[in-house]
Amino acid sequence: MTVNNSILSQVREQLIPSESLENVSKKFQLELKDRLQKSKKSMIVGGWVPKKSMIRTREKFPHSFLAIDFVGSTLKFALISMPNCQIVFQDEFHITAKLVDYKFFDTMITWISFKLNEYLAGEEQRAKFLVSITFSFPLNDRLEIITMSKGFEMSLDIMRKSVKEIIASSFARVLSDLPERKFDVEVCDVINDSVAVYLTSKFMCKNESVSLILGTGINSCFELSPEQVPPKKRPHNTPSNCNCLINVEAGFLGNGTVNVTKFDYHGDGEWNMPLEDISSGKWMPITFANILKRYRIVGLDSTSINGELLVEIAENRYKGKLDGESLRLIREISRSLIQRGAFYVVAMLFAVGSLVNGGINSNQTKEAIEVGYVGSFLAHSNYYKSQIALYSRNRMHFQFLHNSNLLGAAVATYLNRCN
C-alpha cells in the first residue's frame, strides 16, 4: 500500500458513519421529538402560516415591502411588490465585522438607508415601507438572539434584546439624521431563514413539505398543526385555519449521533452544533484543512481553503499546481467529507419528513419528500447533490428558490396583514 493510499484509508475509516442511515434517521427523529417538547434552542415555533387552501391575498397593497436578509457574510435588502413577489430594487453589502452589537446593526441600517435614499432621490412624496427581516441565527419566541454561529460573536449588550426592537431602534437613530430623508419605515416581522425559504415555496410554488438551508450553516423548517405542538410552545390564539411553523435549528442536532472526529474541532466554532460542523460550507473546509495539516499534505495554502475550493477539488475542476498523486489524494478526501455530510443531511431530512408525513423513512412508503432549498454550498456543488440523491435513493425532490430569504420575509408580513 502506498503512503497516499494509507492516508486515505485512515481518513475514510475515521469519517465513515458507524451506523446505518436508517438507524441514524431514527435517532434524529427521536431527538427532534424530544427537542420539540423540551428545547429552547431548536424545534422552535417560528410563527404561524395559513393552510394552503385558506390563504387570502389582496390584489393591491398600499405599501411596498422592504425585506432585509441578515444571513451571514453578506447583507442583502430589496424593495418587493406584493402579491406578485416582484423585486423592484435590491442591493447587497459584504459584512466584515464579526462582533454583533448595536454598532453592527447601526452600520447595516445606515448603509441600507443611504442606498434607499439614493434610489428614491427623484420622488416627491415620502414613501412608507413595511420592513421584514430574515435573521439566520437562532432566536427564541421573544425574537431574542440565543447564540451566534458562522464565526460571529454576540456582544453582551444585545443579549436578551429583541432583534425586532434592535433594528427598529437602529432605524430610528439613522433616519433621524438622514439628510433629505425620502422614506419612513414600520418594522413588522423577524423570521428565520429556514422559515423564509418555506414561506417562499408555499406562496410561490407547490406546497413543499420541508425547507432546507445548506450554505455557511444548515437549517430546516416545516409546519405542524397546533395540536401537534406542545402547549408551552404553541402561539397564543393561533387561528383555526393556520398551522405552526417549526424552525428546526438543525445545526444543533446530532450530539452522540453524528460521527464527529478530532479534525472537526475548530477554535471559533460552536461546540454544540455537530450537524453544522460536518455538513456546512463554513466548517467542512476547515476540517479539510485540518486533515491536510495532520497528514502533512502540502500544495494548498490552508488560508485559501473555502467551500468553493473544496467543491472545485471534489468535482475535478481545480486548476492549481499539484502533482497527479497529491491531487487524487486531496480529491478523494474532499469527496469523503462531502459524502459524510450528505449522509447526515439525508438522515436529518428523513427524520423531519417523518414528522411531516407521518412515518416516512428511508425504507417505508413511496411518498417522496419535497424540499425547497437555498444555500450556495449545496446549490453550487453537483457532487454534494449527487451524494444526497444517492443516499436518499432519489426519494427527495429538490427545488432551488432564488432570493427566498428576501421574498419569504415579504411574504411573512404580507400574509400577516392579509390574514
Clarify whether 193 is annotated catalytic. Answer: yes
How many Cα atoms within 13 Å fall on the side-chain side of residue 10? 13
Q: Are 246 and 36 in contact (CB under 8 A)?
A: yes
Q: Are 226 and 36 in contact (CB under 8 A)?
A: no
Say how far apart CA 366 and CA 283 lie, in whole Å: 34
Q: Cβ atoms within 10 A of the Cβ of 92, count?
A: 13
Say how far apart CA 41 and CA 101 lie, in whole Å: 21
CA distance readout (Å), 321 to 312, 316, 324, 331, 334 = 14, 13, 9, 14, 17
Burial class (CB in 10 A: 0-12, 13-18, 19+), 127: middle
Is the link from the previous residue into 50 a cis peptide, with omega within 30 of 0?
Answer: no
- Eight-state DSSP code of residue 89: E
- Cell numbers 441600507: residue: 112
Say how far apart CA 385 and CA 393 lie, in whole Å: 12
CA distance readout (Å), 244 to 37, 55, 200, 350 = 14, 14, 16, 20
Q: Cβ atoms within 10 A of the Cβ of 54, count?
A: 13
In this structure, is the dihedral angle defined by the CA atoms of residues 279, 282, 285 and 286, taken in order, positive or negative? Answer: negative
Of the candidates 221, 214, 264, 226, the residue with the CA atom closest to the CA atom of residue 246: 221
Choosing from 69, 91, 106, 193, which is the catalytic residue?
Answer: 193
Beta bridge partners of 68: 77, 133
Cell of 108: 447595516
Beta bridge partners of 144: 162
Q: Are 279 and 341 in contact (CB under 8 A)?
A: yes
What is the DSSP pairing of strand 74-81 with strand 64-70? Answer: antiparallel
> Beta strands of 148-290 (E only): which ranges?
153-154, 183-191, 210-214, 218-224, 242-247
Q: Are 415 and 135 in contact (CB under 8 A)?
A: no
Q: Cα-Cα-Cα-Cα dihedral of 54, 60, 63, 68, to 10°?
A: 50
- Tell me the chain's radius of gyration from C-alpha atoms: 22
Active-site positions read: 193
